[in-house]
């Protein structure tokens, strides 16, 4: 007889008492929380499952959504890490009979240790987090940086004070203190910054509204103001003495004053004063993240296949997708070659699909 009781609820029908228990329970990181799967991920999770021990305590949990896969198979996306050796994963497999289960944002430390499931488990690197281990004081943090950054940050601050005098301020708001207007202004700065790089922000109006509830619950908004105008800011989520950077933006008008670097520095100093231990700079590599002491930690997606034939079907589908992409590229290349002057076209070779298949089919 199992020592655990398995529970599974639709998030739309989750009893308030159960929700409170799930939210109070401490989990490993932000990715494992109910709020992250429900109010950050987009599309959001649809269901939550968890295990209770005989004392009625929740010992494991995950948020997930179901979707069709390859027309007639069932797929589950777990919105956060899950242990493939654990009781929760085994119960989720047994109860849902899913052909494929994906789990996201897994660090190398969370890989299964005993090689369980063999070929049924596949890990793919899908992103990275750059982490700053926060010391006990801002001075120790500054000393840990490279000599150039250590020299430039105080210089930027002196120059800001010289040019703006008393007309600027730095403000930190958390949770319910955060005003929607300031949140919207920060995202507008991000949109302006992206436009200067000929890029488009991913924060659509729908995404703003979807994540607002999590901002009010776990958000930390740091704002640099100049004459009552927001000129730089960061938005982070704070959980279990760690902070996760979600948005950093500044007004391109003040590039010369390095307000973006100053805002990040002020944010880090505030986290140190609040005794936080780790600052996750999140989602992708940038020069400034390493400049501020971020250490790369790759993040992986785990894919589990219920049987060997399902895994084989997935490999065939992946190979066909590669061949189809190469076929489109080749036809596009041939079309360009036909439009080139003859003496240029003769020097242009477009590899055939069959040749690419011989190198990339595995």
| Cα–Cα distance, 353 to 9 (Å, whole number) | 48
| Cα–Cα distance, 88 to 94 (Å, whole number) | 10
Q: Residue 307 CA to chain centroid, in angstroms?
A: 30
| Cα–Cα distance, 303 to 298 (Å, whole number) | 16
Instruction: Give the domain ranges of the chain.
Output: 5-128+300-306, 135-276, 327-360
pTM: 0.82
CB 350 within 8 A of CB 337: yes
**Helix or strand (DSSP H, E) at 96:** helix 87-96
Rounded alpha-carbon distances, angstroms, from residue 112 to 63, 108, 123, 149, 292:
20, 9, 11, 39, 32
The token pair at 240 is 């279990």
- Four-point Cα dihedral 276, 279, 280, 285, nearest 10: 180
| Cα–Cα distance, 315 to 230 (Å, whole number) | 50
Q: Can you say whether the dihedral through the CA atoms of 131, 133, 139, 143 is positive or negative?
A: negative
Q: Can you say whether the dihedral through the CA atoms of 275, 247, 43, 100 is positive or negative?
A: negative
Q: What is the CATH number of domain 5-128+300-306?
A: 3.40.630
The token pair at 54 is 């005989």
Looking at domain 135-276, its CATH architecture is: 3-Layer(aba) Sandwich (3.40)
- Four-point Cα dihedral 291, 222, 156, 292, nearest 10: -10
Q: Tell me if 5-128+300-306 shares its fold with 135-276.
A: yes
Listing DSSP states for 10-61 in one string gives: EGGG--HHHHHHHHHS--SSGGGSHHIIIIISSSPP-EEEEEE-TTS-EEEE
Q: What is the pLDDT along the chain (362 residues), one digit of tens a residue?
A: 468 999 999 999 999 999 999 999 988 889 999 999 999 998 899 999 999 999 889 999 999 999 887 777 889 999 999 998 899 999 999 999 998 999 999 888 888 776 555 557 888 998 899 999 999 999 999 999 999 999 999 999 999 999 999 999 999 999 999 999 999 999 999 998 888 878 888 888 899 999 999 999 999 999 999 999 999 999 999 999 999 999 999 999 999 999 999 999 999 999 999 999 999 998 877 888 999 999 999 999 999 988 776 777 667 776 666 545 544 444 544 444 444 454 444 443 433 333 333 333 33
Q: Beta strand pairing status for 121-133 and 168-174?
A: unpaired
In the block, tokens 């403000």 appear at 171
């Amino acid at each position: 007889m199992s020592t655990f009781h398995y529970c599974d609820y639709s998030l739309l029908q989750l009893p308030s008492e159960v929700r409170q228990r799930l939210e109070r329970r401490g989990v490993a990181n932000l990715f494992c929380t109910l709020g992250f799967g429900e109010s950050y991920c987009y599309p959001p999770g649809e269901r939550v499952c968890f295990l209770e021990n005989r004392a009625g305590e929740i010992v494991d949990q995950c948020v997930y959504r179901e979707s069709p896969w390859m027309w007639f198979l069932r797929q589950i996306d777990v919105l956060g890490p899950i242990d493939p050796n654990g009781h929760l994963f085994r119960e989720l497999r047994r109860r849902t009979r899913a052909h494929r289960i994906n789990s996201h944002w897994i660090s190398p430390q969370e890989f299964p240790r005993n090689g369980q499931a063999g070929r049924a488990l596949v890990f793919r690197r899908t992103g990275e987090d750059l982490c700053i281990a926060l010391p006990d004081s801002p001075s120790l943090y500054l000393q840990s940086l490279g000599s150039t950054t250590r020299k430039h940050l105080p210089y930027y601050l002196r120059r800001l004070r010289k040019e703006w005098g008393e007309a600027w301020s730095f403000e930190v708001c958390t949770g319910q203190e955060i005003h929607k207007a300031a949140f919207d202004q920060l995202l507008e700065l991000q949109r302006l910054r992206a436009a200067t790089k000929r890029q488009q922000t991913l924060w659509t109006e729908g995404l703003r509204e979807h994540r607002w509830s999590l901002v009010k619950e776990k958000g930390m908004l740091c704002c640099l103001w100049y004459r009552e105008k927001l000129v730089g800011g960061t938005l982070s989520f704070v959980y279990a003495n760690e902070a996760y950077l979600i948005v950093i933006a500044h007004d391109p008008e003040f590039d010369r004053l390095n307000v973006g670097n100053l805002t990040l520095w002020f944010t880090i100093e505030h986290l140190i004063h609040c005794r936080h231990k780790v600052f996750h700079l999140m989602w992708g590599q940038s020069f400034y993240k390493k400049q501020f002491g971020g250490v790369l930690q790759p993040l992986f997606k785990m894919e589990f296949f219920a049987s060997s034939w399902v895994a084989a079907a997935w490999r065939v589908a992946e190979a066909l997708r590669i061949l189809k992409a190469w076929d489109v590229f080749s036809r596009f290349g041939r079309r360009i070659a036909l439009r080139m002057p003859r003496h240029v076209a003769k020097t242009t070779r477009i590899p055939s699909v069959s040749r690419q298949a011989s190198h990339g089919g595995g």
